[in-house]
Structure 1
Amino acid sequence: MIWWILAGVAAILLFFALNTFRHAVGISTLDDTPKRREERLESHWRILRPEGSGPFPAAILLSGCDGVRDNMTYWAERFVASGRLALIVDSHTPRGLDQLESWRLVCAGQALPGAERAGDLAVALNALGQRADVTDDVVVLGASHGGWTAMEFVAEASSGEVPPGLTKWPAPPESLLESVTAMVLLYPYCGLLNGADKAPWPTDLPVLMVLAEEDRIVDTDDCLAMAETLHAGGAKIETEVLAGAGHGFDQQEKSPLSSLTFDASQRDHTETLANGFLRRVTGHP
């Protein structure tokens, strides 16, 4: 009996190893056309608009691996208060990753890696570009897995490599990238599966990376090292490490047994940092 149990455990571990390798090399089991991907996402994403007819500068928000939580609404409302239209992308619900705790597969790197999810950002940028009430000033805010996604998008768009899971780009990748005026990345994943440093980044895209000193979910040192590598290649990346902060410090909603700790003061400090950064690089908070 013990040998059957050991064989079963070995088979499970082998499956996870092979699945991780599949994601690492960019092999997807499903290919969407850009139109199909947009149709899948559009019925679940949420758009918040400032008062008036516009056109408005905009922001796209990408959640962490556990799906859209209260922090996405908080940041979207802050953007709207500053005069930006905000689009919250829900990558989980259209894929059934909001059911039966299946989002944990995303957090474990077994489903929807950042390189694949970058296709969601591509179609969202294209969709905003078709709206008459949106200008060509679009900021991207990504938290945790969403930050990883945003970084992969930059590398893919820079190289022209189509995100895994898409049959083609929804628009020329250079035009999509040009529409992004700045990025704010909150405690992103920068480990081995993050391939954002595989292609040269544009030298005119300002990026603010806000990291948590006491992060126990992602490795802050990995992000500092990746930021240094990208900066050496000409990327405009600034880093801020919040003393005493932990992963997901801006998120109040959490699952049972979660180690996330909400810290309003760290969230407020991050808002001040982001406002100053965006005002400096885009002229608009």
Structure 2
Amino acid sequence: MDTMAERWALLQKGVTVYGPEDDLPRPAVVLFHGCGGLRPHVHLYAQAAAKTGVRAYVIDSFAPRGWDRNFAVSLICTGVVLQGYERSGDVLAALWGLKQSGRVQMDRVMLAGFSHGGWSIMDLMTQRLTRPGEAKLADPDPSLLETLRALFLVYPYINFPARTNLRAWVHQPETFAVLAEKDHLTPFAHSQKIFKRLQAAGGNIRTLALPATHAFDEEDFKRGVMAYSPEAMQASINAMLTLIDSRLV
């Protein structure tokens, strides 16, 4: 089982950074891609975030492990390998690594997740992180989540076996979720139900419903159950920028 240092040493090989190139501590947005692997749209969100003056860190969970898109679609998107609970350790280790870098204001950090990335972030929120083995890490540290400013979730996967289906969030940073009304992986009504339950439990959560499908921001999907919508993508990016403006800058 990895320590946070070991996990970050692996992930560091697949990190892309946008924003100020100096070494001053800056607010940060940390982005986690979906089950199909790192796709161009995640970089577009990161570039938009960086224009506000924050640093944006795109974390590739798959390439450093030697996994290509065929592997991802066949085994990760089907839930055989690296479910959200297991990948939640990537999220925590990334926060650990950014803290060690000295280039991030750790009280001004936002996590952003797309589909499987959102699942991983949400699974992390359900864990106390007080014992070895949680988040599949030998030394999880809950203090890394205490100063999180916000979560930004885009069509997050919260169907079976996502932990948020049944578990409360131990950690409750301000959260904004972009939901797709035509989502075939997590039905829109189910997403609404889950987020309303989290709100009722005290969560500061807002949602934006868009008339779009899952993965509406991937240009490769032209039609069918997943279809690219530039209008929905722009609305989603605008929502992220508004959250950055209110929580980070």
Indicate whether the TM-score tops 0.5: yes
- Which residue of 6, 9, 13 corresponds with 1:43? 13
Q: Which runs of 5+ in 1 are unaligned?
A: 1-30
Tell me if structure 2 keeps the 8 A contact 1:65–1:106: yes
**Taking structure 1 as reference, are residues 226 and 236 closer, same or farther at Cα in structure 2, changes over 3 Å only?**
same
Per-residue CA deviations over 1:122-162 (Å, capped at 9, x if unaligned) read 01001111122211211111000001111011111x46364
Higher relative contact order (CA 8 A, sep 6+): 2
Instruction: Kindly indicate whether the alpha-carbon contact (under 8 Å) linking 1:155 and 1:200 is maintained by their aligned counterparts in 2.
Output: yes
Cα shift readout 1:80-104 (whole Å, capped 9, x = no counterpart): 1111111111111223331644432
1:192 corresponds to 2:173: no
Alpha-carbon RMSD across the aligned residues, in angstroms, is 2.1
Q: Residue 105 and residue 159 in structure 1: after superposition, are their counterparts in 2 closer, same or farther (change >3 A)?
A: same
In structure 1, what residue type is equivalent to 2:49?
F
Evaluate the alpha carbon distance shift between residue 37 and residue 238 of structure 1 in structure 2; reply closer, same or farther with a 3 A threshold. same
Deviation at 1:164, TM superposition (A): 4.4
Q: Work out whether 1:117 is the aligned partner of 2:87.
A: yes
Letter in 2 for 1:177: L
How far apart, in 1, do the equivalents of 2:186 and 2:67 lie?
A: 21
AA in 1 matched with 2:24: G
Q: Deviations over 1:31-88 (max 9, x none)?
A: 2222221121111222223254432100110000001000110011011111111111
Partner of 2:115 in structure 1? 144
Aligned to 1:167: 138
- 8 Å CA contact 2:155–2:215 kept in 1: the answer is yes
Structure-1 residue corresponding to 2:55: 85
Paired residue total: 246
Deviation at 1:220, TM superposition (A): 1.9
Give 1:233 deviation, angstroms. 1.0
Give me the identity figure in percent.
29
* CA pair 257-73 structure 1, distance change in 2 beyond 3 A: same
Aligned counterpart, 2:65 = 95
Q: What 5-or-longer segments of structure 2 have no aligned partner?
A: none
Q: Structure 1: which amino acid aligns with 2:179?
A: L
Q: Of 125, 134, 141, which residue of structure 2 is paired with 1:154?
A: 125
The alpha-carbon deviation at position 109 of structure 1 amounts to 1.1
